[in-house]
Structure formats: C-alpha cells, structure tokens
Structure 1
Amino acid sequence: MTFISHVTVHHPKLALTPTIEAVPTVTIKVVPTSGTDPETGMFFFLVESETGEFESFEDALDEDGTVEESEKVADHGDTRIYRICYTPETKLLTPKTTEVGGLMLEAETVRQGWLLRLQLPDRESLSRLWDYCREEDISFELDRLYQQESLTADGKALTDAQRRTLLRAFEAGYFEEPRQTSHKLLAEQLDISATAVGGRIRRGTARLIETTLVSDE
C-alpha cells in the first residue's frame, strides 16, 4: 500500500520561482527520465509556450537567482528542453522527498509555484515532508491524497491495459443507454477474452472512482 499525494508548493527561493512569476504564460515540467540527484548539479525541464515567449523565458532565466547556468538542448517549435544548474541557495524538495522514502513522480508549474505528484510509503512520510516545508517557510497545500494497492511504472492509477480497454469501451458505446456493444465484441477487438474485458472495466472503473471521487480523510 502506498499513497499518492498531489501538493502545491511555493517559496521565493524554490527552483525557478522568479522565472515562473516573470513569465506565467509558459508551462515548465521536470523531465521525468532525467537524473534527480541534486549532487549532479544539472536538471532537465520541458518548457511549453503556445505564444512563443521563449525569449522572455530565457531573459527571465538570466535574472533568476535560483539559476546558476542554463542551456537550451532541444527545440521543437512551441516546446523546448533546457538543462539548468541551480545556485547553492536554491531550495529543493526532491532530496527531502527521497529522505522520507518517497518519489517525485511529476512536477509542473502552477499558480506561480509547483504542482507535485508524490508517491509516499505512508502518512508519516507525508507529515515529515509537511513539517520540513513549514520549518523552511515553504507554502505547502495538499490538494489530493489517495491510497493505491499497486502502482504502474509511472505511479498512475490505471494500468495501460485498463486504460486501453476503458477507452475502447467508451468509444464503442459501452456506457451508453442502451448499451451499444458487449464484452464479447470488445474482446474480439482487443484480442483478449470476454472475462478479461469485464475484469479490466470493473477494476479500472473502481480505481477511477477511488482516485477521483472518494474523499480520503
């Protein structure tokens, strides 16, 4: 059993906060396949801008007190990847998350701060992370918290098979009234058994309800 926590954090010295505030129209995401050990000194970010404000973004990086150096490493039009090295004074939550036994699954800019999706082993680890943020004067808002019996590689609620089956069922009218398809027809399309279709739909629907509708107090 693990916990998935969605939290929003903000502090003037958190990584890239000055840039986030200076150019709020761009979206910045941590590249999840890059190294997360702060001792390496370099981190990779995916930056998206529908309005092409990359010049303003790069100007903001030059003035950002949390950035020691930056380099554009890929350009795909409205999406770019940057490699960034932080200054020693920059506040980072990744080391503390690792210390309490957790993983940072996703990090994306939101509301002039960071929206984080964390995998944590228990409520105690969340409490320790919360206490750390309070000691460091980091704003910490818990947006969602739910349990998971098991995890996919990216920590998301649905397996690829469940997601694929639910989407195919939805597209084929399985959830319409009257129902426009059956387990047997879906099984033929997905090349699995009708029993497997029923199990994926049942378990997938239960997981979606648990992670989106059930309040975990």
Structure 2
Amino acid sequence: MATGSESAGSRAGETPDGVRAGVAIHGAGNCPVVAASTAHDGPITGVNWTHAGDTHTEEFRARDPDAVDRADGVPAAASVVDLGDERVYRYDRPRDGECACRVIEELDCPIADARAEDGVLLLTLHLPDLERLRDIVSALDGIADRVEVRYLVHGAATDDAVPDRTLVDRGRLTDRQCEVLRTAYRMGYFERPRDANASAVAEALDIAPSTFAEHLAAAQRKLLEETLGEV
C-alpha cells in the first residue's frame, strides 16, 4: 500500500490530461467590457477584476478612449494611467450572478486571459479535463446567447517521441490581417531571399506600405502570443 507521500510523488510524475481552451462567449449582454468592445476598433485587452464585499472592480486597456465614452452599457470608468498607445480604465459595479467570468470562477476555474472584441468575450482557460469544459458551457447557458469553443489544445506529453503540439487560434486575426498574411505568403514575402518586397505586396493589396507593415506586425504579434504564450 502506497503512503501519502508516495501517492503524491506518483501523481506529480504523471503526465496531466488537462487542456488549454479558447472560449468565445456571444451575447453576454450585461458585461461592460463587451459593451465597450462593440464601439472600439480592435480588442479590449488587459481585463482584470477583483471583488471586495458586494463590489466588483474591473480594469481594462483600450486604444481608443473616445470609443469607450461612446459605448452604451459601460459604467462611468475612471482613467487610471495613460500608456501612450493605450489607456487603462477602471470601474466599479455591484456583484451579480449574471457575470460570465464569475460563473466560471465559481466552478474553481481561474481565467488565464480575458479580452473582448466586436461584442464577443474571449477567454483562455486551463482546465484539468474536458468534463470541466462541458460544465462551464452548461453553466453559461442562460447567461449568454451562445458559447463557442474556438480552439482546444491538449497538454504536451513528456515522452520525447510525442511532439509538442500547439493549435493557433486564427479567430484572433481580423479579416484584413488574414488577407495581408495570405497575400504576403503567396507572393513569397517570407521566402529567403524574398520573391516580393513590402512595396509589391502593399501594391497587390492596394494599400500603403506603412499600412501593410502595421497589419503584418499586428497579425504576427497575435500569432506569436498564441504559440509562445506559455514559453
């Protein structure tokens, strides 16, 4: 019979069966961050929150302060700090049982990352098994119009014979960013030596070279966040 310490050591040496899931929550109508994202060009990021008594305090980052002011359904948010290209906001509201993030946390599931874009709440979750993911989707029934699992990655095994697989969430890219990447790839922009330079790709897309560079940098940053986020 194994002792408690032996059992713990055995469990520590086992390869976990957990998953990394990207979940898109549509129709979370009572979420101020989602409301702000409907008027904002690009994602609302850096979403964090805390609870003190009956008060829910939330913080987020936005690149377009005017959009935050224009959005309906956003409580009066205090500007905390200006980071140059982004501004950090914070607001308070009463705690309630209709908050999607709170529903997930009450299932003992920390949220690894939260952001909102175009009225959709996008969450990254690290879960012990698929059953917990099913519990989350079921618990959100009635809180949201629809819950979409955008990607699912099983943890890499420790066996050297099994490759470390990572699934990239292309849903993070805008249609324009996908078009820029696809065109650049097809024209040989990423080849060495290049078959086409930035000016040629920009001309094919009918945009300025500076605009091409901006879209390309944004797309590459998102893809690198997906593949290197845990490194």
Distance 1:44 1:18, change over 3 A: closer
Aligned-residue CA RMSD in angstroms? 3.1
Within 5 Å, which residues of 2 pair with 1:26-105?
26-32=42-48, 35=50, 39-47=54-62, 49=63, 53-60=64-71, 63-64=72-73, 67-86=74-93, 91-105=98-112
Q: How far does the alpha carbon of each residue in 1:31-83 deviate from its partner, in whole angstroms, 9 at most, with x for none?
A: 45x53779552111111x2xxx31232232xx42xx44310000122201111
Q: How far does the alpha carbon of each residue in 1:168-217 deviate from its partner, in whole angstroms, 9 at most, with x for none?
A: xxxxxxxxxxxxxxxxxxxxxxxxxxxxxxxxxx79x932xx1228xxxx
| Letter paired with 1:18 | A
Normalised to the residue count of structure 2, the TM-score between the two structures is 0.55
Distance 2:97 2:32 in 1: 6
Distance 1:130 1:112, change over 3 A: same
| Letter paired with 2:167 | T
Q: Which residue does the alignment assign to 1:8?
A: 24
Normalised to the residue count of structure 1, the TM-score between the two structures is 0.58
Unaligned segments of structure 2, at least 5 residues:
1-15, 169-231
Using CA pairs below 8 Å that are at least 6 residues apart, which structure has the higher relative contact order? Answer: 1
CA shift, 1:10, in A, is 1.7
Unaligned segments of structure 1, at least 5 residues:
151-201
Q: How far does the alpha carbon of each residue in 1:82-119 deviate from its partner, in whole angstroms, 9 at most, with x for none?
A: 11223556832222222223211111122421111011
